Structure 1
Amino acid sequence: MTSNRSGIIGFRHPAALRLSAITIAAMLAAGTAFAQATNDAAAPDATAKPADAQPARPTKGADATRGGDARVHGQKADLHAAGTTAASTPAAATLAQNSDTLRQAFTDRPTVQQGIPSTDQLGVSHVGNATPEPPENPRQGPLSSIGKKMNDWGFTPVFNLVQMYLANPGVGQQTGNHEALTFISVGGDFDMQKIAGLNGATIHFQQLFVPFTYNLDWGKQVGDVLAGQPGPYVPKVSHLALFTWEQKAFHDKLDFEVGKSNPGLYFAAPVCNQGFGCQSAILQDNAGMNPPIYVNWGGRVRYNLTPAWSVQAGVWRSNPAFPFTNGWEWTDSVPSSNVWLANVVYRTTYQTDPYPKSYELMLYYNTATQTDPFTLGTHKGTSGVYFGGRQVVYRPDGGKAGASSPTALSVFATSTATFDSRSSTGLAMTGSTGLILEAPFQSRPHDSYSLSFNWATLTPHEQEYLKQQNLAAGGTGYTVGRTQLGLKLDANIAVTRSIIVSPYVMRTWNTNTWGNPAYAGTPRNGFVAGVLASVFFDKMLGLTDH
């Protein structure tokens, strides 16, 4: 039985939160991409494993030389033997989802963009809000006339690029390393009402390419939950990122969608300034919401009770082999599980509320068999809860009506907790809270800055497992506490209307070895930093007016 903790990202996205192919990439950078640890992932015959693939989790008192590397290498070996294509580079942490600004063409799904520029966009663009989003600016660019003709016909193209760079100058197990990746998303939305007269129908398609990667082991080199966990692991160059049929009815109050997608596009919207800053490892690892660029068969249905209130439910397959899939597989190459999700959302915007707010409560249940990290006891299924909230609390103009991008101070908080104290992942709770300053200067209405406090708590049995692994690796004893803390400063800076740069820096305390348990020393507390640059070529060229 293997415990899989490797994967990729994030751009869980949302410009408020939903990912376009690029958003997906950004989300990748933001989220955790650990494969779901599951008993269902049948391990192939031991003879098929390479020499360095050791058992995933040794029993209590047994020889525990496998270590954190085995969580990655062992998983790869099993998947490779099961018929998936494994990369030669060890899997690292995951990519998270990057916040992105939503785009609204024929549907209320936002396209993936980097960062969450404003609270209002969060409320307007995010799936779950019935209010349509108007174009940001008049169409501009050398291909504006072609873009308008395509839009009028029923096609809104997506063509974006995200470049990410992550570095750990002084935190974790192996300091002084960095990781770099390039994501390119191509696709678009097909308005079937314009194209074929099918009222309320839209086909969404996006293909993601990863032409350049450097040091995919970065997340494992840091080896903790808060700093190294966002390190993307993307062994394949090309991924299907979205291919669904969306149907609306009853004046758009009812909205359902089926096909190949990622549940992070519709549930647990990041509310922090950068999506990768508050993406929970519990959701992608324990709940089985595979990292954003990895899609599975699934569907969801949402009903808008009012323009502000909505309820939604969905189910997706959760594939433990996701790092080695490309999204075009018809069936899973290894046994997988189902993840069931349900949420209730309340969101307002500057159109109706001088102090917009966004709140989401979500429950999850995954059918995968769980393995206790310390005792190796098993049980069926795991569940938990997510809450995210964000609200404008202060405006220098006193809440003047009609302002589209006012200077505003927002507070946000997010928390994810498991109801299963003996889940495979060993994570009990993760969370983040902080302040966001939006449009600090009227000359720069799309910039935002944020200061946040982050934490991650391990289960008691995971803590005992890490102690066991430390001794087995030759250490003198694991003295790090169960709860890791981090203080983070980040920003979204609009260089132009089509280019957003999102830097961040975080200081950690109580840095743990959750991502790489086979470490004999004590990981360093210190600084980790990164930057994502998002280039929206579709907007730059005039192919879209959003």
Structure 2
Amino acid sequence: MNPSNNNNRFFVQRGTVLACCALWAGCALAGPDQPGTVANPVAPARAPSLGEQLDAQGIAVHGFGSWYSLYNTYGVGRRQDQNNLFLMLAADFDLEKLLGVKGASVHLKQSYAPVASNVDYGPALGDIYGAVAPFVPKKARLVQLSYEQRLLEDALKLELGRSNPATSFMQPACAFVFTCFNPLTLMNGSVFAYPFAYWSATARYNFDDNRFAQVGGWLLNGQIPFESGWNWREERHDGRFFLAQVGTQTRFGEALYPSRFELALYRSTKKQPNPSRTVAGTSTLLDRGSAPKVQEHADGILFNWQKTVYRADGGSRPFDTNPRSLTLEGGLSSSLTPGVTGGVDAFGFIGVNALNVIPGRPLDSLGARLSWFRVSKDYQARLKDAGRLSGSAYEQPRDSFVAELNGRFVLGSGVTLDPFINYVLQPSRYQNPFAEQRPASGWLFGLGLNFALDPLLGWRH
């Protein structure tokens, strides 16, 4: 959620003009020598806000909020809805100002979900999309607590503490996080989506302002959704997740047609029981007496890109950071390890984003994208075996498709509205293998409202 400022509009009403004229006339009639009057009065200086006072001391405090509403007409459990309200407080401590430690800082984020309806919306939805539906069994949780150290004139950044890979790796190429996720790291890599925070260590090196490389490692914890993030002594780690990434990015103002390219490799060391095959070669669901085959790790490769291909000014205003433009985006990811528990074989998407195309609304954007999901052969076999046990034959293909229209509308300073409409074709029972209902194609509607709490709390920066 990046706060954006609307163009200020000043409406001068007749009554205001008359009142100002009356005040000016009264002062003029009194004259500068009249007792109790001041010629050319100077407006008193504005007292600094709490946020500005803290900034001066090296403490930057921010607040964010997000409301998400989802409603589906497709999948296993049709015509269901989910509503969530997330609040987040964040503080960044500049240790150079506070303690004199050059290039050092501490980051703290804590979230709270006062509204979390239909927690089991994901399994009710059924298919792979259900895996990323907000799952909030515990309302308050630690999102980030990390120590950052910058070296080599800020080219090298080291960070140690608790974080999620999505904090700085493989940043989404679209506005709405719910429809902009990668199922390989989520399901095959056994990494729960942001905001769940793991013990981690990361390093990033910026070769220049546009090119970078980074690596990171996280301690996995399968019970993390049910924990607060503060109960460190009670955590049970069941593997490690490693991610290495290289990328390049340019932006408006420094390039006429900016682009972004990112390539990443991951490995999860969490043991991966095969979803459908035992060591005896039989079905894990039909042969309960045999142990499942176990894969010692799960590997994958991910590639994302963005490229601006059109701007209305033709490049005549090279320093414009918000031109009317069209940007293409895409990505392709593949599992490199067969037989993993997560069962996602491949994922890809392609889309287009239009910026500043609505007259009078330069900060709004519109987008369209087409996504493709493929479950692995082993997971497809599991879905068919589960269908036999539930008495409902499973005949869905391995491939699912999602067509999407989305938008981002800036309503005010730090307030955005993010609606989307999806049509899901050939959904699976990925999240609910034993459901008796056949997963039907249909619509998924979503609405997000993101807002900054800083102005409401007086934390003007």
- Shorter-chain TM-score range: 0.7 to 0.9
Partner of 1:148: 52
For residue 250 of structure 1, the aligned residue among 145, 152, 157 is 152
Pair 1:512–1:210, CA change in 2 (3 A): same
Taking the aligned partners of 2:192 and 2:49, their CA distance within structure 1 comes to 39
Partner of 2:324: 407
Partner of 2:132: 230
**Amino acid in the other structure paired with 1:497:** S
- Asked whether the equivalents of residues 206 and 212 of structure 2 are also in contact (C-alpha less than 8 Å), the reply is yes
- Asked whether the equivalents of residues 273 and 449 of structure 1 are also in contact (C-alpha less than 8 Å), the reply is no
1:393 is the counterpart of 2:309? yes
**Amino acid in the other structure paired with 1:382:** A
Aligned partner of residue 466 in structure 1, secondary structure? helix
- Asked whether the equivalents of residues 351 and 370 of structure 2 are also in contact (C-alpha less than 8 Å), the reply is yes
**Amino acid in the other structure paired with 1:431:** G
Partner of 2:2: 101
Aligned partner of residue 142 in structure 2, secondary structure? strand
- Asked whether the equivalents of residues 290 and 319 of structure 1 are also in contact (C-alpha less than 8 Å), the reply is no
**Amino acid in the other structure paired with 2:366:** Y
Taking the aligned partners of 1:541 and 1:496, their CA distance within structure 2 comes to 16
Partner of 1:161: 65
Aligned partner of residue 271 in structure 1, secondary structure? coil
- Structure 1 residues 181-200: aligned runs within 5 Å: 181-200=84-103
Q: Higher relative CO (CA 8 A, sep ≥ 6), structure 1 or 2?
A: 1
Taking the aligned partners of 1:320 and 1:516, their CA distance within structure 2 comes to 19
In structure 1, list runs of 5 or more residues that go unmatched: 1-99, 104-141
1:206 is the counterpart of 2:109? yes
Pair 1:280–1:143, CA change in 2 (3 A): farther
In structure 2, list runs of 5 or more residues that go unmatched: 5-45, 278-291
For residue 399 of structure 2, the aligned residue among 483, 488, 495 is 483
- Asked whether the equivalents of residues 370 and 378 of structure 1 are also in contact (C-alpha less than 8 Å), the reply is yes
Aligned-residue RMSD, C-alpha: 1.7
Instruction: Report the alpha carbon displacement of residue 335 of structure 1 after superposing the two structures with TM.
Output: 4.0
Taking the aligned partners of 1:314 and 1:340, their CA distance within structure 2 comes to 6
Higher strand share: 2
Taking the aligned partners of 1:338 and 1:254, their CA distance within structure 2 comes to 24
Instruction: Report the alpha carbon displacement of residue 402 of structure 1 after superposing the two structures with TM.
Output: 1.5
Pair 1:541–1:211, CA change in 2 (3 A): closer
Taking the aligned partners of 1:252 and 1:539, their CA distance within structure 2 comes to 31
Taking the aligned partners of 2:260 and 2:295, their CA distance within structure 1 comes to 36
- Structure 1 residues 442-457: aligned runs within 5 Å: 443-457=360-374
Instruction: Report the alpha carbon displacement of residue 265 of structure 1 after superposing the two structures with TM.
Output: 0.6
Instruction: Report the alpha carbon displacement of residue 412 of structure 1 after superposing the two structures with TM.
Output: 0.4
Instruction: Report the alpha carbon displacement of residue 280 of structure 1 after superposing the two structures with TM.
Output: 1.3
- Asked whether the equivalents of residues 206 and 242 of structure 1 are also in contact (C-alpha less than 8 Å), the reply is yes
Instruction: Report the alpha carbon displacement of residue 537 of structure 1 after superposing the two structures with TM.
Output: 1.2
**Amino acid in the other structure paired with 2:77:** Q
**Amino acid in the other structure paired with 1:440:** V
Instruction: Report the alpha carbon displacement of residue 449 of structure 1 after superposing the two structures with TM.
Output: 0.9
| 1:192-217 deviation per Cα after TM superposition (whole angstroms, max 9, x unaligned) | 11112111111100110111111112
1:517 is the counterpart of 2:419? no
Taking the aligned partners of 1:342 and 1:143, their CA distance within structure 2 comes to 47
Taking the aligned partners of 1:306 and 1:289, their CA distance within structure 2 comes to 30
**Amino acid in the other structure paired with 1:387:** F
- Asked whether the equivalents of residues 197 and 229 of structure 2 are also in contact (C-alpha less than 8 Å), the reply is yes
- Asked whether the equivalents of residues 143 and 543 of structure 1 are also in contact (C-alpha less than 8 Å), the reply is no
**Amino acid in the other structure paired with 1:208:** S
1:272 is the counterpart of 2:174? yes
Taking the aligned partners of 1:541 and 1:405, their CA distance within structure 2 comes to 29
1:504 is the counterpart of 2:420? yes
Instruction: Report the alpha carbon displacement of residue 541 of structure 1 after superposing the two structures with TM.
Output: 5.1
Taking the aligned partners of 1:439 and 1:265, their CA distance within structure 2 comes to 27
- Asked whether the equivalents of residues 401 and 425 of structure 2 are also in contact (C-alpha less than 8 Å), the reply is yes
Partner of 2:32: none
1:179 is the counterpart of 2:82? yes
Instruction: Report the alpha carbon displacement of residue 539 of structure 1 after superposing the two structures with TM.
Output: 4.7
Taking the aligned partners of 2:138 and 2:342, their CA distance within structure 1 comes to 24
Partner of 1:319: 221
Taking the aligned partners of 1:384 and 1:264, their CA distance within structure 2 comes to 16
Instruction: Report the alpha carbon displacement of residue 527 of structure 1 after superposing the two structures with TM.
Output: 0.2
- Asked whether the equivalents of residues 343 and 361 of structure 1 are also in contact (C-alpha less than 8 Å), the reply is yes
Taking the aligned partners of 2:185 and 2:3, their CA distance within structure 1 comes to 22
Pair 1:435–1:146, CA change in 2 (3 A): same
Taking the aligned partners of 1:282 and 1:494, their CA distance within structure 2 comes to 32
Taking the aligned partners of 2:174 and 2:331, their CA distance within structure 1 comes to 8
Taking the aligned partners of 1:203 and 1:420, their CA distance within structure 2 comes to 37
Taking the aligned partners of 1:200 and 1:397, their CA distance within structure 2 comes to 40
1:527 is the counterpart of 2:428? no
Aligned partner of residue 468 in structure 1, secondary structure? helix
1:440 is the counterpart of 2:440? no
For residue 192 of structure 2, the aligned residue among 281, 285, 290 is 290
Partner of 2:298: 382
1:261 is the counterpart of 2:178? no
Partner of 1:417: 334
- Asked whether the equivalents of residues 244 and 259 of structure 1 are also in contact (C-alpha less than 8 Å), the reply is yes
Instruction: Report the alpha carbon displacement of residue 334 of structure 1 after superposing the two structures with TM.
Output: 3.1
Pair 1:263–1:244, CA change in 2 (3 A): same
**Amino acid in the other structure paired with 1:204:** H
- Asked whether the equivalents of residues 219 and 237 of structure 2 are also in contact (C-alpha less than 8 Å), the reply is no
Aligned partner of residue 505 in structure 1, secondary structure? strand
Taking the aligned partners of 1:253 and 1:269, their CA distance within structure 2 comes to 19
Question: What fraction of aligned residue pairs are identical, expressed as a percent?
Answer: 25
Taking the aligned partners of 1:202 and 1:369, their CA distance within structure 2 comes to 35
Aligned partner of residue 390 in structure 1, secondary structure? strand
1:463 is the counterpart of 2:365? no
- Asked whether the equivalents of residues 255 and 302 of structure 1 are also in contact (C-alpha less than 8 Å), the reply is yes
Pair 1:489–1:101, CA change in 2 (3 A): same
- Asked whether the equivalents of residues 343 and 360 of structure 1 are also in contact (C-alpha less than 8 Å), the reply is yes
**Amino acid in the other structure paired with 1:200:** G
- Asked whether the equivalents of residues 370 and 424 of structure 1 are also in contact (C-alpha less than 8 Å), the reply is yes
Taking the aligned partners of 2:3 and 2:187, their CA distance within structure 1 comes to 25
Taking the aligned partners of 1:390 and 1:513, their CA distance within structure 2 comes to 32
- Asked whether the equivalents of residues 325 and 355 of structure 2 are also in contact (C-alpha less than 8 Å), the reply is yes
Instruction: Report the alpha carbon displacement of residue 534 of structure 1 after superposing the two structures with TM.
Output: 0.8
